[in-house]
Chain A
Amino acid sequence: MLSVKNIKFQYDAQNSFQIPDINLKAGEQLLILGKSGSGKTTILNILGGLLKPDSGEVKLGDTLVNQLSGAKLDKFRGKHIGIVFQKPHILAPLTVEDNLRLANYFVGAKGERNLELLKELGIYNKRKSKVTTLSEGEAQRVSIARALANHPQLILADEPTASLDDENAAIVIKLLQEQAQKFNAALIIVTHDQRVKDHISNHIIMGGKS
């Protein structure tokens, strides 16, 4: 379902990345490990259509993501790709529930599963709260819920556990895996956090060593 081939990318002449080819079927999971500066986030940005590669192709389903541009790319991303960041980045003026609804609104989805999703992630009773009243772990779960609000085919997570303690990190990884399986979505987690390795066996290492 996701195939990444011959991707080359460089910010400038000194900083070029050779990105390994990736092939994932629906429901499969992949861990990309690597130190800071090894280009892990760059891969994620290219996969998510946030950065355009210099060459090569990123194909999700039948769509060549790297050939989309402008509003089309934005809508495609919103609809089919869910992104979880290291920091939750919940939109502070909105409530938890409205954060999900906003994601629905941008792609024209109804968001019938929002409440169920919040329940499954254990933040249903916080749905009317503002992000400022949430704990770090709760906030990260909100950001997962938001990434999943439009039933994405591909879930990308960039260091989702970096700022969490062991317990919360384990919960977050478990939730990501569960939800990915439930939606039959491909899950890619980029991290340097060795704790995650125990949960996902399929992994590649960036920058030669980890």
Chain B
Amino acid sequence: MNMLKLSWKYLVAKPLNTGLNILLLALGLAIITVLILIQDQFENKMTKDAEGIDLVVGAKGSPLQLILSSVYHIDYPTGNIDMEEAQSLSRNRLVKNIIPLGMGDNYQGYRIVGTNHDYLELYKAEIEMGEVWRKPFDVVLGAVVAEKLNLKVGDSFIGSHGIGSSSHEHDEHPYKITGILAKSSNVLDNLILTSIESVWYSHDEGHDHDKFEADVTTSGFPPADEDREVTSLLLQYRNPMAAVQLPRFINSRTSMQAASPSFEISRLFELLGVGVKLIQGLAFAIIVIAGLGIFIALFNSLKERKYDLAVMRTLGASSLQLFIHIVLEGIILTFIGALLGIAIGHLFLAVLVMQNEQGAISGLSAAVFLREELYIIGYAIAVGFIASLIPAWTAYQTDIAKQLTKS
């Protein structure tokens, strides 16, 4: 027998009351856990995906939409831009590197992105199996795409038009898988990569077998055989001066628009921040109510237990031990609540991720544990301590003789 066991027995003696308090606290803490997990991974992922991209250039429209569609591949593109105009930009002395992207097709909801090999280099992507694309209609799959669709090198498939899973198929041009990327935990995992040429030819009428046999461009823009378009450009500055001049130049002098990923993303988080704050507030309210619930439960049980406490004193318990006895009850409650809350939080996130295989949160993992979760346990124990302080003090001051003679 020890203090911990004693407090535990008293808690177990009232399973409903104890369970309800634990559950309420766990709920509040679960919300906090999910928020922390999503926020941390989301921000990490967002920053990682945008690394090395100073500016995104695309058709005029919402800059945020341009960033979301071209960097994170979660929104629809703003439209296409004329390749000649795009190419003229690459000759600008402020531009160090430029990667064209061509979008518009998907396979089973996974986007087919036409680009060149620089795009792979930008993310330091490694080929796990096979090799990169060399000919039109050769594709390389992201690790998640290959796993989810159960595709291997050498398989072929037919893409459909549109960005989401959709309507009509380009039945005359099957794509051939030449390689699969190693898992990188960034946006590439969920993409199907190919050459710009593939995207162009799949939308062309008629067949030109010579074109289909020629090697594709691996860096820079492919040579245009007719009027061609690309969807957007990922751009790196040559020097800091470019950050000042280039966006202004593009936005005012061309028919394209330029958007900075870091700026748009911080704007996005600012917008999301309001919602996050609201949910956080709700979670804190639940935690405060749970703390009050524990306080009330302990305080009420004290009325019935004053006799028990007096008896403990006659058995040799000191006032301090009674104080600890009550405080321990509060702390045990909140500790279990914290563990349960963290478990529920992870479970909830796991379900959320499972149900959104291709959405913005598909790349999140529920199996990640953060240091902040230790703080949650710390906070919970603090709540238990504070909630049990007044009841414990009352127990501390129990007048044994008065209590025992009252019967």
Q: Which residues of A come within 8 Å of B, CB atoms?
A: 41, 45, 48, 50-51, 70-71, 74-75, 77-79, 83, 85-87, 89, 91-94, 98, 101-107, 146, 150
Contact = CB atoms under 8 A, between A and B. Distances in A.
A146 B404 CA distance: 16
A106 B319 contact: no
B96 interface: no
Given A50-B400, A94-B9, A71 B318 contact: yes
Contacts of B407: 86-87
B319 A71 contact: yes
Q: 6 closest Cβ contacts across the A-B interface?
A: A78-B316, A93-B13, A71-B318, A106-B316, A50-B401, A101-B1
Contact of A41 (B6, B307, B308, B405): B405
A77 B318 CA distance: 10
Interface in B329-372: none
Contacts of B319: 70-71, 74
Nearest to A87: B407
B320 A71 contact: yes
A45 B312 contact: no
A48 B404 CA distance: 12
Given A91-B311, A93-B9, A106-B312, A85 B404 contact: yes
Contacts of A41: 405
Nearest to A83: B314
A78 B317 contact: yes
Interface residues of B, number: 25
Contact of B10 (A71, A93, A103): A93
Mostly helix, strand, loop or mixed at chain A's interface? helix
A150 B316 contact: yes
Nearest to A90: B311
B16 interface: no
B315 interface: yes
Interface in B1-48: 1-2, 6, 9-10, 12-13
B266 to A, nearest CB: 55
A105 B2 contact: yes
B313 interface: yes
Nearest to B308: A91
A133 B361 CA distance: 56
A71 B315 CA distance: 12
27 contacts: A45-B404, A50-B400, A70-B319, A71-B319, A74-B316, A74-B318, A78-B315, A78-B317, A79-B316, A86-B407, A87-B407, A91-B308, A91-B312, A92-B13, A93-B10, A93-B13, A94-B6, A101-B1, A102-B315, A103-B315, A103-B316, A104-B1, A105-B2, A106-B315, A106-B316, A106-B321, A146-B315
Contacts of A92: 13, 308
B333 to A, nearest CB: 15
A184 to B, nearest CB: 21
Contact of A77 (B6, B314, B320, B404): B314
A51 B10 CA distance: 28
Contacts of B13: 92-93
A51 B1 contact: no
Contacts of B6: 94, 102, 105
A208 to B, nearest CB: 22
A85 B311 CA distance: 10
Given A89-B311, A94-B9, 7 more contacts: A50-B404, A70-B318, A74-B318, A75-B316, A77-B316, A78-B317, A106-B316
A102 B314 contact: no
Nearest to B316: A78
Nearest to A80: B316
A51 B317 contact: no
Contacts of A70: 318-319
A104 to B, nearest CB: 7
Which of A91, A92, A146 is packed against the most chain B CB atoms within 10 Å?
A91
A91 B305 CA distance: 9
A64 B313 CA distance: 19
A150 B316 CA distance: 10
A81 B20 CA distance: 40
